[in-house]
Amino acid sequence: MPLPAQPNDPLTAFMDYPDIPVAHSATGTLVGLTMAVKDLFDVKGFPTGCGHPDILAGAAPATRHADAVEKLLSSGVRFAGKTLTDEIAFSLNGINHHYGAPVNPKAPDRISGGSSSGSVSATAGGIVDFALGTDTGGSIRAPASYCGVFGLRTTHGRLNLAGCMDLAPSFDTLGWFARDMATYRRVGDILFDRADAVSIDLPTPAVVDDVLPVMDPGPRAAFLETIARLRGVLGDIGSVKISGGRLDDWYVVGRTCQLRDIWVQHGDWITRENPVFGPGVRERIEWAKGLTRAETETADRRRADIRARVVEMTDRHGILILPTLPGIAPLKSAPIGHIEKFRDRALKNLCLGGISGVPQISLPIAQFDGAPLGISLMGSPGTDEALMDFAAQIEAALGTL
């Protein structure tokens, strides 16, 4: 049954859990900020439902906070609640078959995006200052684009995911949403170890031409117009074809490796409990179950080559620029088949960061037809802070939605 709207949750972004006090430090650099936490992360005293009622039914209250949650609470953040996620975080749509769909505050007739749907909704709607999420196949970047907020897929393996449900460990990353870069960077200062940071020296940014044919014509024109505006901030912007015309093949590689990881993590539970999954998720689970060893071994070999190519290009250009997604968020009224087809197209944009493990931040600096259209900056592994710095410069020069 969909979650009921609550007086303090008009966007249906939060799980309907009891109001359990969560202590936070009275001192620290984040005092005064409020955060929401995707219901994949443990918060002491709360269950971790992972977007599925069968998991929630067997979940005891967590006995400790996830590491990232503990860091933030110790820095003075006030916890506002746990947010809705798609079923086992295995979707980009933000439509949970069991619990419903949070509202997209920037485009209420359109989907919010998943699987960090509640976190992005609560942030974009101003209920909290920022919210934790995860990005496996695009679940920070896609919702950020749909809802017009900032969202960074961090360098794979750089931030600690202890106390968070694994979906596909060789893809899973921690991320968060915020409406402005000042807040975004304050959170990053707590989560990142600056000793691991990598700078971007003398960037010669380039647009990733590979993904432009995937875009709808109107959003493509809006993206190119935004590139013209970005030249006033970043200087000359070139172009590059990373995949050599093989983007469709790269998408298949990313999809295959991710599905294999998911089945390894969750296949035993799915086989044993036979849980009910909604449209889209159900079909992908069956796909994961049917993968052959030959398919996954071939994909693993190709993935290593793709990662090397993407890292080579980010090292060479400093920053790669691309539309976060092929277009704006689909309408909520669209048939599920249409939304799923858009998801498949979206993964052709999103797979570059997922396969390679490099950081990518989506900026809310473009729109089409009155809805947000995220523009992404991608860098080499470890350049997360540098990308945030460039995002802040762009925000100051161009403003946001």
State pLDDT tens for residues 286-344: 999 999 999 999 999 999 999 999 999 999 999 999 999 999 999 999 999 999 999 99
Query: Letter for the amino acid at 171?
Result: F
Helices (H), 274-383: 281-290, 293-317, 336-356
Handedness of CA 349, 355, 356, 359 (dihedral sign): positive
User: Which one from 91, 112, 115, 380 is the annotated catalytic residue?
Assistant: 115
pLDDT value at position 7? 63
- Residue 4's pLDDT is what? 61
Cis peptide before 115 (omega within 30 of 0): yes
Tokens found for residue 304: 């290593």
Please confirm, yes or no, whether 348 is among the known catalytic residues: no
In the prediction, which pLDDT does 248 show?
A: 95
Sheet holding 206-208, edge to edge: 78-83, 34-38, 130-135, 173-178, 150-153, 360-363, 375-378, 320-323, 206-208, 238-240
Residue 195 pLDDT: 87
* Domains of the chain and any CATH numbers: 34-196 (3.90.1300.10), 206-398 (3.90.1300.10)
- The span from the CA of 349 to the CA of 320, in Å, is 12
DSSP H or E stretch at residue 208: strand 206-208
85 close to 96: Cβ distance less than 8 angstroms = yes
- Three-state DSSP at 2 gives coil
37: left (phi over 0), alpha (psi -120 to 50) or beta: beta
The CA radius of gyration of the chain, in Å to the nearest whole number, is 19
Instruction: Indicate if 82 belongs to the active site.
Output: no
Of 45, 10, 54, 63, give the one whose Cα is nearest residue 278: 54
Give me the catalytic one of 38, 71, 82, 332. 38
| DSSP helix/strand/coil, 111 | coil
Alpha-carbon torsion 215, 347, 97, 285, what sign? positive
For the chain, which residues score pLDDT lower than 70?
A: 1, 4-7
Query: How confident is the model at residue 226, as a pLDDT?
Result: 97
Structure tokens at 173: 């990353």
Pick the closest to residue 180 from 150, 204, 203 (CA basis): 150
Residue 72's nearest CA partner among 197, 174, 196, 210 is: 174
- 8-12, long-range: CB within 8 Å, 24+ apart, which pairs? 8/127, 9/81, 9/127, 10/103, 10/125, 11/102, 11/103, 11/105, 11/121, 11/122, 11/125, 11/127, 12/84, 12/100, 12/101, 12/102, 12/103, 12/121
**Catalytic residue selected from 75, 116, 117, 139:** 139
State how far the Cα of 14 lies from the Cα of 118, in Å rounded to an integer.
6
Over residues 35-86, the pLDDT tens digits come to: 999 999 999 999 999 999 999 999 999 999 999 999 999 999 999 999 999 9
Please name every residue paired with 100 in a beta bridge, in sequence order, or none if there are none: 96
Closest CA to 77 of 50, 37, 40, 38: 37
Structure tokens belonging to residue 307: 């990662």
Question: Among 89, 362, 90, 115, which residue's Cα sits nearest to residue 102?
Answer: 115
Question: What is the sign of the dihedral through the CA atoms of 149, 155, 160 and 161?
Answer: positive
In the chain, % of residues over pLDDT 70: 99
Output the CA–CA distances (angstroms, integers) from residue 281 to 59, 149, 274, in the order listed.
Answer: 21, 26, 13
Rounded distance, CA 361 to CA 302, Å?
25
Respond yes or no: is residue 139 known to be catalytic.
yes
